[in-house]
Structure 1
Amino acid sequence: MASEGQSPPMSWRDSYKGMSSDNIKGLILALSSSLFIGASFIVKKKGLKKAGASGIRAGVGGYSYLYEPLWWVGMITMIVGEIANFAAYAFAPAILVTPLGALSIIISAVLAHIILRERLHIFGVLGCALCVVGSTTIVLHAPQERMIESVTEVWDLAMEPGFLLYAALVISAVFVLIFHFIPQYGQTHIMVYIGVCSLVGSLSVMSVKALGIALKLTLSGMNQLVYPQTWVFTLVVISCVLTQMNYLNKALDTFNTAVVSPIYYVMFTSLTILASIIMFKDWDRQSPTQVVTEMCGFVTILGGTFLLHRTKDMVDGLPTSMSSVRLSKHADEDGIDGSEGIPLRRQDNSL
């Protein structure tokens, strides 16, 4: 019998009832976002393959996919998912919403296995799982976001020297990747395309946060549309999203979806957290436990990425030396079964 004055233990029902209605709305929106975005990778990939069969593939600079209805279905599906994700941030904190983005990787991988017949070695599956666990660990132990009362406050944070330096480094790295590395290594190294998408994405998320704050305050009666900073953030979001779309299409057309999705998620999440820490100075409110946990998350991500790279040429039941002679992922488009592995580097031995 509990002693007098002791409160009874809280049941799971009491804990659940304590969750606010806004958090529940955010949770549902985040889950819906993962479903739509995960499915969009597959639909867009099908559209890219169909467009590449009758025109110039996106991976080599073609834009015939713009005339393919299936690609637009995938694009609309992704837009719906992103809108749901954007709305989720308006109702629930990022610490609840962001980790659920990992579900899109699982959905994408399952659909790729069923629909696209893309296979991933068992250690590659483990690598994906480690990447997801590491990223989720970092996000779950990230510090709480600071309260923002105006879009001009976000602008002031973006104009501080630390974030300006980060933005300058990101933009410089993106230009180097686009003009130097992509012409030479774009068709053979997956990290080139995904690097552009992730770096640009870290800047777009900061602008999306600003727009979300502006929209929420505007709907609550404090009009933020009169501030020029709101429209500057809008232009940044549009520019970054268009860049991400272009190079993500190239990555999806050149490499298999089951590898593109987790690596893109890991890099995008890591860089976004870094940009948020620099911009909002969240490290000032972190405990040593949080810092150690985040470092463990990064180590987990590195382990998962290493496994993905090491197993890129492995096939179940065959050693790497034997499976290295397999055909490229595009060989099935010529009537050859090329579904025996998922490479991080596209092979040219089918020529």
Structure 2
Amino acid sequence: MYSSNLIGFILAVVSSAFIGSSFIIKKKGLQKAGASGPRASVGGYGYLLEPLWWVGMITMIVGEISNFVAYVYAPAVLVTPLGALSIIVSAVLAHFMLNEKLKRMGMLGCLICVVGSTLIVLHAPEELSIDSVQEIWELAIQPAFLLYTASVAAVALVLILYCAPRFGQTNIMVYVGICSVIGSLTVMSIKAIGIAIKLTLEGANQLVYYQTWIFAMVAVTCIVTQLNYLNMPKK
């Protein structure tokens, strides 16, 4: 168990490094694309033709793959907080590559991220033994989790349909809120997919269960939505 947690820990840290770097690279790509066409913040998709943006995208994909594999080896409560380390990487690189100076409150925020992540990792519980993706499904359809999922969907829809068109271009917290709220479901679905793949490789085929594909569809939907709003900077 400790060996698996260590592997998951290392993969999560590597993932944070790649993902944190990808934000800066993609930002540079967005800036180059915005200089020659409509900005992403006003609905432009010219960044899709910008090679630098794709370099950042590939970097993010590598990081997300590492993160995905980390969920296979370690509990979500250990892997997820380590994602906060990507904030530190982004902040440092932004200082040098984008000339964005980190102020005192930003430094305090980074410190809180490090302390919070460390405390959670040190007290992460052992992962329950799962023998089938159907077990995860049984947990996912419990009334409490269904209520949480409905609440997340409702908040996300309000942010996407009402807040984003009106305030998104002037208040970055709208886009951050959308990605953060939806991200909670992304973590759960990716964890389920990771366990399904692990069990399948061990000989217990989980691809025959429709629940595996539902988790996959949820993950893809959440990831695509997050990527869309991550690339919509405010004016």
Choose from 145, 153, 172 the match for 2:135: 153
Per the TM alignment, residue 145 of structure 1 is displaced from its structure 2 partner at its CA by 3.5
2:208 corresponding residue in structure 1: 226
CA apart distance, 1:135:
4.7
Distance, in Å, in 1 between the alignment partners of 2:190 and 2:32 is: 33
In structure 2, the residue matched to 1:65 is 47
- Which SS does the other structure have where 2:169 is aligned? coil
Query: What is the identity, as a one-letter code, of the residue corresponding to 2:146?
Result: L
Structure 2: distance between partners of 1:36 and 1:63: 24
Counterpart of 2:178, as a letter, is V
The letter for the 1-side match of 2:15 is: S
Which of 104, 108, 112 is 1:130 aligned to? Answer: 112
| CA RMSD after TM alignment | 1.9
**Structure 1 residues 182, 203: closer, same or farther in 2, change over 3 A?**
same
Residues 43-54 of structure 1 correspond to what in structure 2 (within 5 A)? 43-54=25-36
TM-score (norm 2): 0.92
Q: CA deviation at 1:246?
A: 0.5
Provide, for residues 10-65 of structure 1, a one-character-per-residue CA deviation record: whole Å limited to 9, x for no partner.
xxxxxxxx953x44433332222121111101110001111111111111211111
Structure-1-length-normalised TM-score:
0.63
The change in CA–CA distance for 1:183 and 1:75 in structure 2 (over 3 A counts) is same
2:11 to 14, 29, 45: 29
Q: 1:75 Cα shift?
A: 0.7
Aligned to 1:185: 167
Residue identity over aligned pairs, in percent, reads 66
CA distance in 2, matches of 1:134, 1:28: 18
Higher helix share: 2
- Report the secondary structure of 2:83's partner residue: helix
1:102–1:136 contact (8 Å) kept in structure 2: no
Counterpart mapping for 1:1-351 below 5 A: 20=3, 22-138=4-120, 140-141=122-123, 143-250=125-232, 253-254=233-234
Q: Contact 1:56–1:62 (CA<8 Å) still a contact in 2?
A: yes
Distance in 2 of aligned mates of 1:34 and 1:165: 30
1:216-264 CA distances to partner (integer Å, 9 max, x unpaired)? Answer: 00000000001111111111111000000001111xx32xxxxxxxxxx
| Counterpart-to-counterpart distance in 2, 1:96 and 1:168 | 25
**Range moving further from structure 2, 186-195 or 119-128:** 119-128
- Residue 73 of structure 1, CA deviation: 0.9
CA distance 1:24–1:139, shift in 2 (3 Å)? closer
- CA distance in 2: counterparts of 1:175 and 1:120, whole angstroms: 32
Map of 1:5 onto structure 2: none
Aligned residues: 235
Which runs of 5 or more residues in structure 2 are unaligned? none
Q: Does structure 1 retain, via aligned residues, the 8 Å contact 2:20–2:87?
A: yes
Larger radius of gyration: 1
Amino acid across the alignment from 1:63: Y
